[in-house]
Chains A and B, each alone.
With several copies, the nearest count.
Chain A
Amino acid sequence: MSEVSWTTDEMMTVVAARALPDRALCFVGIGLPSTAANLAKATHAPDLVLVYESGTLGAKPPHLPLSIGDGILAETADTVVSVPEVFNYWLQPGRIDVGFLGAAQIDRFGNINTTVIGDYREPKVRLPGAGGAPEIAASCREVVVVVRQSTRTLVPEVDFVTSVGFGRGAGDRERLGLTGAGPRRVITDLGVLEPDPADCELTLTRLHPGVSVEQARDATGWPLRVAADVGVAEPPTAAELGVLRRLEATVGGRGGPRA
């Protein structure tokens, strides 16, 4: 395999794609999660089942959709259901294996903020809000978070808990009645964090090629724990990059790059 160069976004996407086992049911949000899921489906996981919150179950888009409601999703889905149904019958009972979430802030216990930076009533930045994230975080068997790592995004405590990770630590999910296992993996542009088995604090378990532990520590808003056996992820293969770039070139079915 020849050496190829790649961007940190590509690395994140490839690592996210690899997190998806074949035949898994994946609840897909737009942007990087959709790209990663479609990359997985086009490489090692051809029978991955994509569920979009627009109600398209088993969508098989030949190109990357630009929104979660692109017509190509409805046209290629096994079935299209209403939005109430996708949440009540398909997500809520825990049928979905993996849910993807992004974050404006994520804290040491994997709680996610996509609502507001600063005070809710006097916001510094008003963000889009919850969308489907709280229930994805609550009900998917497992959640994968994808976020660029910095002291602004990885914070000791989020300003607003839009979606619950591990609350204030071990046992909180059970106490809150959340049926899924929570954010088992946080994939950043520097590496991968996983909850500590004992207290659920996010811990660095893997670095992307060329990234140091110090870089990861410097980009984290709390004293970052590092696993004893921290490893280094395989760089993207030429095959992965080829498929990824071809996918990205076709976003929205237009042959052009995404805005």
Chain B
Amino acid sequence: MARITTLPDAVAELVRDGDVLAMEGFTHLIPFAAAHEVIRQRRHDLTAARMTPDLIYDQLIGAGCVRKLVFSWGGNPGVGSLHRFRDAVENGWPVPLELEEHSHAGMANRYVAGASGVPFAVLRGYSGTSLAGHSPGVATVTCPFTGEQLSAVPALCPDVTVVHAQRADRAGNVQLWGITGVQKEAVLAARRSLVTVEELVDELPPQPGAVVLPTWVVDAVAVVPGGAHPSYTQGFSKRDNGYYQAWDAISRDRAAFARWLDEQVYTGEVRA
């Protein structure tokens, strides 16, 4: 049963130093506000898993929270590079960053295996690529019926998964819709989970395309309107494309990034 709580309390309780942390949301519903709270609480040595690290993990990485990144595509969508990510990989700043790299299909299936309670998933993929050689998390399995060789990836079971959703009811049942990405699987695969929501409602009216996470698979719900900014929440807010573009200059420069951290995160004054 999910408890309804505040974001600082939820992060304090559920996100721990050294955790495997997954913050998911595929372009849509990215839990930025929760990430900023993780930075504010100075979490460190995190293994941060996410299909598309995006600005949210560029910020966590630049702030020194992350020891290892598990991912499949690390760019600023439509803009260019993630400069804090590149600085960590290319120069070890502010701390060296270990990489565990997959394809989208591999990452998605790793969450599926985790959500399903099995230790691995099977897919067509990786065959002939250099990814297999550089990731300990890719193996080959043989079909016991046809003899065909396929790829296997290990289940990804985060210690804690954080997602953002449109709404929850007072019992802690969560409802999200629009592009729902891999959030259901990431929550079900995790040992602990935290959901930030735009609003708390008495009832969850049925909604086309909605995914419901029953309260009994969620640990905490925190009401954080705009908690996905600068990404968007379908039905509540638009994507702040200007923020993504402005991030390019901020993140290129360590000093500018440090200023951003001070002014926008550590003060708690972040717009999100």
Contact = CB atoms under 8 A, between A and B. Distances in A.
Contact of A177 (B112, B149, B239): B149
Interface in B119-144: 123-131, 134
Interface stretch (A54-62, A190-198, A212-220): A54-62
A204 to B, nearest CB: 25
Interface in A41-79: 49, 53-58, 66-71, 73-75, 78-79
B216 A93 contact: no
Interface stretch (A6-14, A141-149, A158-166): A158-166
B173 to A, nearest CB: 6
Contacts of B101: 115, 129-130
Contact of A83 (B26, B75, B127): B26
B241 A160 contact: no
B195 interface: no
A139 interface: yes
B245 A259 contact: yes
B70 to A, nearest CB: 11
A223 interface: no
B82, B148, B188, B234: which has the most chain A beta carbons within 10 Å?
B188
A82 B181 contact: yes
Given A23-B1, A120-B134, A172 B128 contact: yes
Interface string A1-42: 000000000000000000000010100001100000000000
Q: Looking at chain A, what size class is its interface with the partner chain?
A: 35 or more
Contact of A129 (B28, B73, B173, B184): B73
B90 interface: yes
Interface string B164-194: 0000000001000011111011001000000
13 contacts: A54-B181, A67-B78, A69-B26, A79-B209, A82-B181, A87-B105, A89-B184, A95-B217, A126-B89, A128-B75, A129-B74, A131-B52, A172-B128
Interface of B: 1, 26-28, 51-52, 71-75, 77-79, 81-82, 85-86, 89-90, 101-105, 108-109, 111-112, 115-118, 123-131, 134, 148-150, 173, 178-182, 184-185, 188, 209, 211-212, 214, 216-217, 232, 234, 238-239, 241, 244-245
Interface of A: 23, 25, 30-31, 49, 53-58, 66-71, 73-75, 78-80, 82-84, 87-89, 91-95, 115, 120, 123, 125-126, 128-135, 138-139, 160-164, 167, 172, 176-179, 252, 254, 258-259
